[in-house]
Amino acid sequence: MNTTTNTTTRAQTASNTDLLTIALVAFMGLGLVFITGFAHVPVLHDSAHDVRHSIGFACH
Amino acid sequence: MLKKLVASALFAGLAAGVVASVLHFAMLVPIIVEAEQYESGQLTHFTAAPDTAAQPAADDGPDTSLWHRDTDPVHRGIMTFGMELITYTGFALILIALFAVAERYGHQVTAREGILWGLAGFLALHVAPAAGLPPETPGIPAADITARQMWWIGTALATGVGIALIAFGRSLALSALALVLIVIPHVIGAPHLEELSGVVPPSLEGLFAGRSIAVAALSWSVLGFLAGWFWSRNRAA
């Protein structure tokens, strides 16, 4: 009985993603969206201009 | 683990980005091109006096100084395509991270359910912000950019958390808090100029806003479905 419970718990823990990995993935996503949607750097703004307008990000 | 998450996000994001790009070029670029003809004075809206129409090009403050229009349509198209892919990959990474959070709470996201997650993203990042700051064509004078960006981020975040509380909260108090979060950005109100102006016909603006939201709805549905599909496939493997 005890063994079964332990195995289940361990299996579940192993399949769960650790928080650091989740934070890293979320941070990468936010970084990309910041670059295309929010950065004021002219070269980024100009390249992403039409995308910002079409997605509805505030643009110039 | 990290590799699997990023790979799922990349596949889903790039595919959704391609869908969004095709829709962008088919439905939104013609309107942007037409709006720019109004902005440059090549076209004139019948209600605008000629003086007013000529003004933006000459004196539009920070509006035109920041944006250096790309005159090469091929280069402009390639940049737009690339940026569209990057944006949707960014959305996908955030979505996959949220799937992983849900999994830690014992909730496994499937492809079909992914569509709902995608639509939630669409509501938080497009519908709610559009209620205060609708998507606009180039050439519309608007309030301070940083203030608008802050309102946009606050609205998207509050709406996203609100939707999550409604979906996963198990109490009336949490649902009430969700409603407050969703409503509050609109009570505060988006930053706007005191006077409305612009040389693009309002009907063209309306068409652009409507199409932009429709494009986002479809793109996010595809993104949610694919992210859920790759995610559940990875988890089963």
Q: Is residue B50 a part of any domain in this protein? A: no
> Would you say residue A4 has pLDDT above 90?
no
Residues of A in contact with B153 (CB under 8 A): 38
φ, ψ for residue B164 (rounded to 5)?
Answer: -60, -40
What distance in Å separates residue B120's CA from the closest CA in chain A? 16
pTM: 0.88
Q: Given an 8 Å threshold on Cβ–Cβ distance, is A35 in contact with B86?
A: yes
Average predicted confidence (pLDDT) for chain B: 89
Q: Give the other-Cβ count within 10 Å of B186's Cβ.
A: 14
**Domain range for A33:** 24-60
In percent, the amount of chain A with pLDDT more than 70 equals 75
pLDDT at residue number B220: 98
> Would you say residue B154 has pLDDT above 90?
yes
Residues B31 and B147 in one domain: no
Residue B56: partners with Cβ closer than 8 Å, 6 or more residues away? B39, B63, B64, B139, B141, B199
pLDDT at residue number B126: 97
Residues B9 and B116 in one domain: yes
Residue B93: partners with Cβ closer than 8 Å, 6 or more residues away? A25, A26, A28, A29, A32, B6, B9, B13
Number of domains in chain A: 1
Q: Is residue A16 a part of any domain in this protein? A: no
Across B42-51, B99-108, B149-158, least confident range: B42-51
Residues of A in contact with B149 (CB under 8 A): 38, 57-58
Instruction: Out of A23-32, B66-75, B140-149, give the one with best mean pLDDT.
Output: A23-32
Rg, chain A, Cα only: 21
Chain A interface includes B68 (CB < 8 A): yes
Q: Is residue A8 a part of any domain in this protein? A: no
Residues B4 and B81 in one domain: yes
Please give the angle made by the CA atoms of B43, B33 and A44, to the nearest 5 degrees: 130
Please give the angle made by the CA atoms of B127, B184 and B129, to the nearest 5 degrees: 20
Residues of B in contact with A59 (CB under 8 A): 67, 136, 138, 145
Residues of B in contact with A48 (CB under 8 A): 79, 83, 87
* Helix A42-55 and helix A19-37, axial crossing angle in degrees, nearest 10: 100
Q: Given an 8 Å threshold on Cβ–Cβ distance, is B149 in contact with A38?
A: yes
Cβ atoms of A60 and B120 within 8 Å: the answer is: no
Residues B11 and B27 in one domain: yes
In percent, the amount of chain B with pLDDT more than 70 equals 90
Categorize the per-residue pLDDT at B54 as very low, low, confident or very high, splitting at 50, 70 and 90: very low
Length of chain B: 237
Chain A interface includes B102 (CB < 8 A): no
Residues B186 and B215 in one domain: no
Residues B211 and B230 in one domain: yes
> Would you say residue B53 has pLDDT above 50?
no
Mean pLDDT of B203-229: 97
pLDDT at residue number A53: 93
Residues of B in contact with A17 (CB under 8 A): 1, 5, 100, 103-104
pLDDT at residue number B146: 93
Q: Which residue has the higher pLDDT, B222 or B39?
A: B222
Residues B14 and B90 in one domain: yes
Tell me the per-residue pLDDT of B101-144, one tens digit each, with 9 for 90 and over.
999 999 999 999 999 999 999 999 999 999 999 999 987 888 88
Q: Is residue A15 a part of any domain in this protein? A: no
Rg, chain B, Cα only: 20
- Going by C-alpha positions, the residue among B188, B63, B231 that lies closest to residue A53 is B63
Cβ atoms of B48 and A16 within 8 Å: the answer is: no
Across B151-160, B174-183, B199-208, least confident range: B199-208
> Would you say residue B9 has pLDDT above 90?
yes
pLDDT at residue number B29: 94
pLDDT at residue number B68: 65
What distance in Å separates residue A45's CA from the closest CA in chain B? 7
How many whole angstroms separate alpha carbon A42 and alpha carbon B89? 22
What distance in Å separates residue A5's CA from the closest CA in chain B? 16
What distance in Å separates residue A10's CA from the closest CA in chain B? 13
pLDDT at residue number B215: 97
How many whole angstroms separate alpha carbon B143 and alpha carbon B88? 27
